[in-house]
């Protein structure tokens, strides 16, 4: 029975990215930063505004109409 650990092998080294991978990755990051993030922020703001409108205006208005 061998109780000693065998020496660990160093992790395999990944090859560095090529020029084409970097040339594609940089414009994709720019597009995401310029287009996707602002659109998502506007969408989230619209969702919050819609919930506020529903909770503060439409629901009380509906209750008032049912009461009358």
Q: Is the dihedral of CA 36, 38, 41, 46 positive or negative?
A: negative
The pTM assigned to this predicted structure is: 0.57
Work out the pLDDT band at 52, boundaries 50, 70, 90. Answer: very high
Residues 42-56: what's their mean pLDDT?
96
Residues 14-43: what's their mean pLDDT?
88
Among 40, 64, 42, 60, residue whose Cα is nearest residue 52: 60
- Residue range 32-46, pLDDT digits in tens: 899 999 999 999 999
């Amino acid at each position: 029975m061998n109780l000693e650990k065998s020496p660990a092998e160093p992790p395999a080294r990944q090859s560095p990215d090529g020029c084409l991978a970097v040339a594609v990755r940089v414009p994709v990051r720019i597009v995401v930063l310029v287009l996707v993030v602002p659109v998502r922020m506007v969408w989230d703001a619209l969702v919050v505004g819609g919930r506020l409108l529903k909770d503060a205006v439409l629901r009380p208005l509906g209750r008032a109409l049912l009461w009358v």
